[in-house]
Chain A
């Protein structure tokens, strides 16, 4: 049977351990393909009539469209232990479950090298705007907007974090599910705030241009230069895999940006997740889906030191991460303690809008004064996307609740007989 996902290199090796366990247990051979161009691959496979049996992808917007078109198959009868997840964490459309989160990444975090950054973590907007580079380093923020398939997404992560922390989860939900205009005040303000944070940190025009040409995977390596090229990196938890081995890194959560509540424990968190979905209803595919959703598989990757994989399965507690991986445990603890967790909004958007969002980030970095025109263009793209696939009221409601599935909250007991209420 075939499995398609985005993981290559070290991450593919880590996922390989999960598949090895599955093969040992069932004797079913799995052929794994990892590619960053997963959207193109999956689309071309579907066009050719040969989809993978199981695909694991972060773009839930795509998954929703595949569910709508009938390519992605429902899992209600396949996975008996849905009770191991909080209900909103399962991709549910029209009362049917279509995908389960396999690997969760924490996005509302800022990374630093402990040897280079000794200041207290910023707690609010004022702290954030007061960050300045001192010494030999060129800038505060490590920024890289290039990605092989979809440039600009590291900037979309910034906008999402700022919007969530500035306007709150309800506004974020509306925006992520396409019911809030891009030109609206909260969204425009989020872009402007990001611009202010970068300006205040001393990122000049030249620095922005370098960011446009730099790959996201290499931007963070500036933390470890001598002297460092930058001091902080706003990036998802998976980035630690690309840091040099043995790096002494730590993180602080993204600070509050609203004036009424700067208590760290109350702050919402943006996460992304790789969701597993089934495209062929074979007994082998069903077996793998059951395995991937279950506790045994969900524990394997988090147990790898510095594996940077986190689970939404309620039976996988933070101590599933080895004691030798304090950063991993801290990420898991942070995820566990988050008052509210929201999914990466761009992953929820239809592909055309997601790409346009990334494009707008590039243009904004180059020419911030074009912001109103960029937002108006994003509104136009959003309207055009709606022409292609107009979700029903129920689907819109489902996607809206899915956009911020709420806290993980492992402390509340789950219902062993079915879906957790």
Chain B
């Protein structure tokens, strides 16, 4: 085999390998980002945080309802509170069902069906509140308060309460997100290898053009030129993954902010509910210090403490819309994934057809 033919053969083989590697790394990068963007994890996180907030509000409203119903605790806004309780429980139920559909954390170690468990516990909770209501209606404040206290504990218990269960479910969505391509070493590795493959391909294409020009004294090879153009387009298409990733990161940051705000709201509702429950338990216990060890331990506000302020709702609809917009941005280019194999195959075909005639010329020549 002549030296020229051998060189041409090597250039073609090198370009083939480079284009295949470029295709693989481009596809890895592009799909890795967009598959995560297409997942429902962010939605699930938002829905779970919304469920937590609705349940904390419902629990506080339930206590306020019965504070009004209690014969010894004085009047309060019974009807609005009862209405609020019902609305929030309904909202929580709907969001919980949606969150269960969007749950992505099946593969994360630990309970994967926390949301199902929360649904079951919520049914127990509403039964306890109903039982409390039944007893208050009968004028039996003591047993009414006992059920309400049981419901409150089921909602807020530090280890096994409904809110904790939901918190765990939410944390598992975050864990899942953190383990996905855009947040791991795979993204960095894919970026570096994609860059290396792209530069190698372009360098080989340029080198081949120079070699052909020098050896055959002709103008630029048009097919190789077209292949170079396609490689540049392929690079541009793949780099859209970085825009998507930026949107995804932004959506994640905004989601975390929304979740944190709602968490603070849940805490505020808890403090407010604590104070209301303390007022409700006071006539049952007789004195603040006589409610027993469990009340002393779990009720954070002592009976008789000043009323905490319930904050106005702070998560704006605009923030939720912002997350939705960023998520939409992150998936905007996902449909262009087909371009990557199409461009790579076409570029490969052009490279082969551009070099093949020159190889044929040297099939029978000695040099």
Chain A interface (Cβ < 8 Å from any Cβ of B): 8, 31, 33, 35-37, 40-41, 43-45, 48, 50, 144-146, 148-149, 151, 206, 209-215, 218-219, 221-222, 229, 359, 362-363, 366-367
Q: Which A residue sits closest to B287, measured CB to CB?
A: A206
Task: Indicate the member of A31, A50, A209, A221 with the most B CB atoms within 10 Å.
Answer: A209
* Residues 256-291 (chain B) with a chain A CB within 8 angstroms: 281, 284-286, 290-291
What is the bound-complex CA distance between A362 and B116, given in angstroms?
29
What is the bound-complex CA distance between A198 and B123, given in angstroms?
33
Chain A to chain B contacts (Cβ below 8 Å), 30 pairs: A8-B160, A35-B111, A37-B124, A40-B117, A40-B123, A40-B124, A41-B116, A41-B117, A44-B113, A44-B116, A48-B113, A144-B294, A146-B149, A148-B153, A151-B147, A206-B290, A209-B285, A210-B292, A212-B142, A212-B146, A213-B146, A213-B281, A213-B294, A218-B293, A218-B294, A362-B143, A366-B142, A366-B143, A366-B146, A367-B143
What is the bound-complex CA distance between A41 and B111, given in angstroms?
11
What is the bound-complex CA distance between A166 and B284, given in angstroms?
33
Give chain B's interface residue range (CB within 8 Å of chain A). 35 or more
Which residue from B153, B161, B281 sits with its C-beta under 8 Å from A146?
Answer: B153
What is the bound-complex CA distance between A151 and B153, given in angstroms?
11
Specify which chain A residues have a CB less than 8 angstroms from the CB of B285 in the assembled complex: 206, 209-210, 213
Closest 7 CB pairs of A and B: A40-B120, A210-B292, A44-B116, A214-B292, A212-B146, A215-B294, A44-B120
In the complex, the answer to whether B143 meets A8 with C-beta atoms within 8 Å is no
Which residue from B140, B142, B160 sits with its C-beta under 8 Å from A148?
Answer: B160
The minimal Cβ–Cβ distance linking A177 to chain B, given in whole angstroms, is: 26
Specify which chain A residues have a CB less than 8 angstroms from the CB of B150 in the assembled complex: 146, 151
Specify which chain A residues have a CB less than 8 angstroms from the CB of B293 in the assembled complex: 214-215, 218-219, 221-222, 229
Specify which chain A residues have a CB less than 8 angstroms from the CB of B292 in the assembled complex: 144, 210-211, 213-214, 218
Q: Which A residue sits closest to B161, measured CB to CB?
A: A148
Chain B interface (Cβ < 8 Å from any Cβ of A): 109-111, 113, 116-117, 119-121, 123-124, 131, 140, 142-143, 145-147, 149-150, 153-154, 157, 159-161, 281, 284-286, 290-295, 297
In the complex, the answer to whether B109 meets A48 with C-beta atoms within 8 Å is no
Task: Indicate the member of A31, A37, A206, A211 with the most B CB atoms within 10 Å.
Answer: A37
Q: Which A residue sits closest to B106, measured CB to CB?
A: A50
The minimal Cβ–Cβ distance linking A228 to chain B, given in whole angstroms, is: 12
In the complex, the answer to whether B286 meets A363 with C-beta atoms within 8 Å is no
Q: Which B residue sits closest to A149, measured CB to CB?
A: B124
Specify which chain A residues have a CB less than 8 angstroms from the CB of B121 in the assembled complex: 37, 40
The minimal Cβ–Cβ distance linking B284 to chain A, given in whole angstroms, is: 6
What is the bound-complex CA distance between A112 and B117, given in angstroms?
37
In the complex, the answer to whether B117 meets A44 with C-beta atoms within 8 Å is yes
In the complex, the answer to whether A213 meets B149 with C-beta atoms within 8 Å is yes
Q: Which A residue sits closest to B120, measured CB to CB?
A: A40
In the complex, the answer to whether B159 meets A8 with C-beta atoms within 8 Å is yes
In the complex, the answer to whether A43 meets B120 with C-beta atoms within 8 Å is yes
Contacts A40-B123, A213-B291 supplied; 8 other A-B pairs, CB < 8 Å: A35-B160, A41-B116, A44-B120, A45-B116, A206-B290, A215-B294, A219-B293, A366-B142
In the complex, the answer to whether A366 meets B294 with C-beta atoms within 8 Å is no
The minimal Cβ–Cβ distance linking A44 to chain B, given in whole angstroms, is: 4
Specify which chain B residues have a CB less than 8 angstroms from the CB of A218 in the assembled complex: 292-294, 297
Specify which chain A residues have a CB less than 8 angstroms from the CB of B295 in the assembled complex: 213-214
Q: Which A residue sits closest to B111, measured CB to CB?
A: A33
Specify which chain B residues have a CB less than 8 angstroms from the CB of A209 in the assembled complex: 142, 284-286
Specify which chain A residues have a CB less than 8 angstroms from the CB of B117 in the assembled complex: 35, 37, 40-41, 44
Specify which chain B residues have a CB less than 8 angstroms from the CB of A219 in the assembled complex: 293
What is the bound-complex CA distance between A35 and B118, given in angstroms?
12
What is the bound-complex CA distance between A50 and B116, given in angstroms?
11
Which residue from A45, A210, A212, A359 sits with its C-beta under 8 Å from B113?
Answer: A45
Q: Which A residue sits closest to B143, measured CB to CB?
A: A366
In the complex, the answer to whether A367 meets B294 with C-beta atoms within 8 Å is no
In the complex, the answer to whether B119 meets A44 with C-beta atoms within 8 Å is yes
What is the bound-complex CA distance between A151 and B145, given in angstroms?
13
In the complex, the answer to whether A366 meets B140 with C-beta atoms within 8 Å is yes
In the complex, the answer to whether A31 meets B116 with C-beta atoms within 8 Å is no
Specify which chain B residues have a CB less than 8 angstroms from the CB of A359 in the assembled complex: 131
Q: Which B residue sits closest to A370, measured CB to CB?
A: B140
Specify which chain A residues have a CB less than 8 angstroms from the CB of B145 in the assembled complex: 213
The minimal Cβ–Cβ distance linking B128 to chain A, given in whole angstroms, is: 8
In the complex, the answer to whether B109 meets A31 with C-beta atoms within 8 Å is yes
The minimal Cβ–Cβ distance linking B136 to chain A, given in whole angstroms, is: 13
Specify which chain B residues have a CB less than 8 angstroms from the CB of A43 in the assembled complex: 120
Specify which chain B residues have a CB less than 8 angstroms from the CB of A36 in the assembled complex: 160
In the complex, the answer to whether B154 meets A149 with C-beta atoms within 8 Å is yes
What is the bound-complex CA distance between A219 and B292, given in angstroms?
9
What is the bound-complex CA distance between A50 and B121, given in angstroms?
18
What is the bound-complex CA distance between A126 and B258, given in angstroms?
64
Specify which chain B residues have a CB less than 8 angstroms from the CB of A215 in the assembled complex: 153, 293-294
Specify which chain A residues have a CB less than 8 angstroms from the CB of B149 in the assembled complex: 146, 213
Specify which chain A residues have a CB less than 8 angstroms from the CB of B111 in the assembled complex: 33, 35
What is the bound-complex CA distance between A45 and B116, given in angstroms?
8
Q: A37-B117, A44-B117, A50-B113 are in contact. Are A148 and B294 (CB under 8 A)?
A: no
What is the bound-complex CA distance between A367 and B144, given in angstroms?
12
Specify which chain B residues have a CB less than 8 angstroms from the CB of A40 in the assembled complex: 117, 120-121, 123-124
Which residue from A37, A229, A366 sits with its C-beta under 8 Å from B160?
Answer: A37
The minimal Cβ–Cβ distance linking A216 to chain B, given in whole angstroms, is: 9
The minimal Cβ–Cβ distance linking A141 to chain B, given in whole angstroms, is: 13
What is the bound-complex CA distance between A376 and B360, given in angstroms?
102
Specify which chain A residues have a CB less than 8 angstroms from the CB of B147 in the assembled complex: 151, 362
The minimal Cβ–Cβ distance linking A191 to chain B, given in whole angstroms, is: 16
Specify which chain B residues have a CB less than 8 angstroms from the CB of A31 in the assembled complex: 109
Which residue from B143, B153, B157, B284 sits with its C-beta under 8 Å from A363?
Answer: B143
